[in-house]
Amino acid sequence: MTAKKPRLLTGDTPTGRLHLGHWVGSIENRIALQDQYECFFIIANMHAFTTRMEKPDEIRQSVLDIATDYLAAGIDPKRSTMFVQSDIPAIPELTFFFSMLIPYPRLMRNPTIKDEIRDKGLGDNYPFGFLLYPVGQVADVLAFRPEIVPVGEDQIPHLEMTREVARRFNQLYCNVDSHTEDKDYLKKGGLFPIVDVKLGRARRLVGITGPDAHGNLLKMSKSLNNAIFLSDDPDTIAKKVRAMYTDPKRLKATDPGTVENNPLWIFHEMFNPDEKWVAESEERYRNGAIGDVEAKKKLIDVLVALIEPIRQRRLVFEKEPEEVLKILREGAEKANAIANETLHLAKKYMKQNF
Ligand code: ATP
Ligand code: MG
């Protein structure tokens, strides 16, 4: 018999299609870890309702899009389990109990929540449920009691909350001593592991548009109209790269340019396998010896080489939405077996197993 593999959980909100930020932030890691871990990938459709509750059709389409992107990117349903959040009733049940373990001011200090309210222009008019989503995410993770969670940098505050809830639950309901080291909670009789975060090669890939009013480059995001998608065709990639924000002070190819904080070079560093060319060209850019046009042309080639095989595989899956739905349903069955077991145990520890 082979030893039981450790478990991994991560996922995406269906608010659009997968983009290059997902690729370097999380998907690359998922594909690399498929054999070492028992992998669960959640499509968090309930969380999509927090910002677009009036668009159920779009959310439905996006669930299918993300599942299709997973398959095209190389997530193998024979080895990994992909499923839709709302098919797992144990998650909202756990969310309710977990929400008691998070002080309200603690939630409001979560920097990712603050950033999202600002960057998505939510003002003070977001629904109550928006604040519930990080708690829901704690339940998404803990329902599977995974060892690691591969995510981008913006998820660190949510994962920190997950770790806090797990410690608190274990202390309150499983009588684990509060001085226990994170790695020892399970050994000491706790139900929930204190999960590890695994960050991708890019912790936070920037988008292709210019900085916000505060001079910061925004992260590439499905919702911000600044993404290159894993499903973009070569023409679309070329158009996006040609329009990409670079050094605004540089008016012609012979002007010295700035490499730092310049998406053109951030993307080359991240995706161009020819490191020598990148290093030399950055030097030429600084000295006004290479134009944006030439550097962008090269970047288009690099991105098309990465994305086109994914897009080609996607075209095959796109023709079989029924097959994709079947994979999601089978995934939900496997996911429910584990999440229900977690809920059952959690209720037992909370003395609510009647
Ligand atoms: P939304 O705009 O709806 O928030 P998103 O593009 O931020 O969408 P999510 O579904 O929220 O995507 O995130 C899914 C995963 O991808 C998370 O682990 C997140 O950290 C990671 N991720 C998203 N954008 C980036 C990025 N630009 N760089 C690195 N990782 C990213
Ligand atoms: Mg996000």
Q: Does the domain spanning 207-315 belong to CATH 1.10.240.10?
A: yes
Buried-exposed string 179-201: b where 16+ CB fall within 10 A, e elsewhere: ebeeeebbeeebbbbbbebbbbe
Provide the whole-model pTM: 0.93
End-to-end CA distance of the chain: 37
Kindly identify the ligand whose nearest atom is closest to the C-alpha of 200: 1
Q: What is the DSSP letter of 17?
A: -
Answer left, alpha or beta for residue 260, where phi above 0 means left and psi between -120 and 50 means alpha. Answer: beta
- State the distance from the centre of ligand 1 to the C-alpha of 66, rounded, in angstroms: 12
Mean pLDDT, contiguous 10-residue spans, the chain (354 residues): 84 95 92 95 97 95 97 96 98 98 92 86 88 96 96 92 98 98 97 94 92 90 91 98 95 92 97 98 96 96 98 97 98 98 98 96
Q: Output phi, psi for 114, to 5 deg.
A: -60, -45
Q: How far apart are the C-alpha atoms of 66 and 58, rounded to whole Å? A: 12
Q: Is the CB of 30 under 6 A from ligand 1?
A: no
- State the distance from the centre of ligand 1 to the C-alpha of 256, rounded, in angstroms: 33
Kindly identify the ligand whose nearest atom is closest to the C-alpha of 12: 1
- State the distance from the centre of ligand 1 to the C-alpha of 222, rounded, in angstroms: 7
Question: Is 207-315 the same fold as 7-200+320-349?
Answer: no
Domain layout of the chain by residue ranges: 7-200+320-349, 207-315
Tokens of 285: 């850019």
Give the pLDDT score at 2. Answer: 57
Give the pLDDT score at 115. Answer: 86
Q: Is the CB of 13 under 6 A from ligand 1?
A: yes
- Measured from the Cα of 116, ligand 1's closest atom is 4
CATH assignment of 7-200+320-349, given 3.30.559.10, 3.50.50.60, 3.30.1110.20, 3.40.50.620? 3.40.50.620
Q: Is the CB of 219 under 6 A from ligand 1?
A: yes
Other beta carbons less than 10 A from residue 118's beta carbon:
13
Q: How far apart are the C-alpha atoms of 259 and 267, rounded to whole Å? A: 11
Q: Is the CB of 220 under 6 A from ligand 1?
A: yes
CB 19 within 8 A of CB 228: yes
Of 8, 9, 22, 41, the one to substitute when testing ligand 1's pocket (max ligand atoms within 8 A of C-beta) is 22
- State the distance from the centre of ligand 2 to the C-alpha of 195, rounded, in angstroms: 20
- Residues with Cβ within 8 Å of residue 207, at least 6 apart in sequence: 21, 217, 218, 219, 220, 221, 224, 226, 227, 263
Kindly identify the ligand whose nearest atom is closest to the C-alpha of 26: 1
> Is residue 84 helix, strand or coil?
strand
- State the distance from the centre of ligand 1 to the C-alpha of 149, rounded, in angstroms: 14
Give the pLDDT score at 203. Answer: 86
Give the pLDDT score at 41. Answer: 98
